[in-house]
Amino acid sequence: MSSGNTGVRNFQVSVNNNALVIPVLEAELCQHTDKITSTSAVPQLDTPMADHEDGPPLKGAKLDEEGLGSVVASHYNNLEEKGLKERSTSRIYHLRNSNNWIKSYLINYCLDQVRERQVDHYPVSVFDLGCGKGGDLLKWSKGSIRHLVCADIAQTSMDQCRERYTNTRKRTGGGHGGGFTAEFIVADCTKKRIKPMLENPSRQVDLVSCQFAFHYCFESLAQTETMLRNVSENLKRGGYFVATIPNAYEIMSRLKNSRSHRFGNEVYTVEFPEDRSEDPPIFGDRYNFFLEGVVNCPEFLVHPPTLIKLAKKWDLELEWKRDFSTVFSDALKDTLCQRLLSVMNVLETYPTKEEQVTETEEEYTHARQFLESRDEVTAIRTLTSSEWEALCIYQAWVFRKVR
């Protein structure tokens, strides 16, 4: 990961579980406003805030004999591809960009860890588990990897991923943006072994990345075991596994405080069955996650102690896990991520001459209070309180294979 502060200022940041504010310098304010009004600056995204858009309602979806896999696959196969301009006007535009920015940080961090441990500087290979439409292809290209394995449950998403990869290689002549080889596998990674499906089954990768998809395996013990097996047996000793997972403890805390079977705000809702047991199972503890205009899909709580124990069985030792609020703070200390903050339109400027993403003034209470307490600051970069609350549901987990 890039370090140092050459050409990049030190941010005076206020980050906690309730709000995020970053003071904006006058010169930055002008530059940021120019970027935010240009649709050409909108990044390609593949987070739950982009790839998982507008599928069919699943609230009443019924479990078949094989579980929810077919339901989830159907959901993603029926998604509508949104254009850049339409995504840029979304209520959760900056939330989507924030999640994508955090992914960039995590991927670069892990690639750096891999290379620091290398002796002969061999080319890096990656397994993108639950790759969706391939929105992380540019990240892998920027990371100068040599080979990529893409696997996903949804055929339509994989077709779009393959097409995106092919088009990128055509545009670049196989150079920057497409300088790595790739293979594409359509399979439910919670139920099928991936190794026999590889072009070279003896190949092991340096990094496995599972972004916003791991929680599906906690439908059952067998599915979790299969998922972890797919991670471990395709990962070199000393390699890394990075996953972004909903924080079960945070979800249960918010559920308890809601005094209901559901909670949320104007951009997201988490809803459990009304008849949920007071002593829920470790596996199969199902809820529905709704995100404004994007996600409406069944998910499962991930029990952290169980995940850590099962991962050890597959030689995966937990290096660290951190809430997204902490990861956000860590990323702000990184030179590359500081630059990407504006390039990717991660945060909204407040106040601004442009329209804010919402007319609900309460969403900017934290911003106004910060400005009132700092006479020298005239504008900040931030997320609305609802977006920040949604972002802070997630955690990043980093494992290393020890044997």
pLDDT for 188 equals: 98
End-to-end CA separation in angstroms for the chain: 25
pLDDT confidence bin for 173, thresholds 50/70/90 = low
pLDDT at position 92, please? 94
Which parts are annotated binding residues for S-adenosyl-L-methionine? 103, 130, 152, 188, 211, 216
Strand, helix or coil for residue 177: coil
The model carries a pTM of 0.84
SS3 call for 323: strand
**Residues placed in the known binding site:** 99-100, 103, 130, 152, 188, 211, 216
Report d(CA 97, CA 74) in Å as an integer. 26
- Dist CA 123 CA 121 (whole Å): 7
How confident is the model over 80-98, as pLDDT tens digits? Answer: 555 455 556 789 999 999 9
312 and 257 Cβ atoms separated by less than 8 Å: no
Q: How confident is the model at residue 397 (pLDDT cuts 50, 70, 90)?
A: very high
Answer left, alpha or beta for residue 132, where phi above 0 means left and psi between -120 and 50 means alpha.
Answer: left
C-alpha span between 160 and 19 (Å, rounded): 36
Other C-beta atoms within 10 Å of 202: how many? Answer: 6
Of the candidates 307, 186, 199, 185, the one whose C-alpha atom is nearest the C-alpha of residue 246 is 307
Least confident range from 40-49, 130-139, 288-297: namely: 40-49
- Residue-wise pLDDT tens digits, 111-134: 999 999 887 778 999 999 999 999
Domain ranges of the chain: 14-41+328-384, 69-320+389-401
Q: Is 159 a residue whose pLDDT tops 50? A: yes
Contact 395, 389 (CB under 8 A): no
CATH number among 3.30.565.10, 3.40.50.720, 3.40.50.150, 3.40.50.261, domain 69-320+389-401: 3.40.50.150
Torsion of Cα atoms, 157 then 161 then 166 then 171, to 10°: 120
Residue 82 DSSP symbol: P
User: Do the strands 181-186 and 147-152 form a parallel or antiparallel pair, or are they unpaired?
Assistant: parallel
CA atoms within 13 A on the CB side of 403: 5
Which phi and psi (to 5°) does residue 100 adopt?
-65, -40
Residue ranges of the annotated binding site for mRNA are: 99-100
Rg of the chain over all Cα atoms, to the nearest angstrom:
21
Instruction: Find the helix packing angle between 324-332 and 335-343, rounded to 10°.
Output: 100
DSSP strands (E only) in 96-230? 125-129, 147-152, 181-186, 205-211
Cα-Cα-Cα-Cα dihedral of 152, 157, 162, 163, to 10°?
Answer: 180
Helix (H), strand (E), coil (C) string for 88-129: HCCCCHHHHHHHHHHHHHHHHHHHHHHHHHCCCCCCCEEEEE
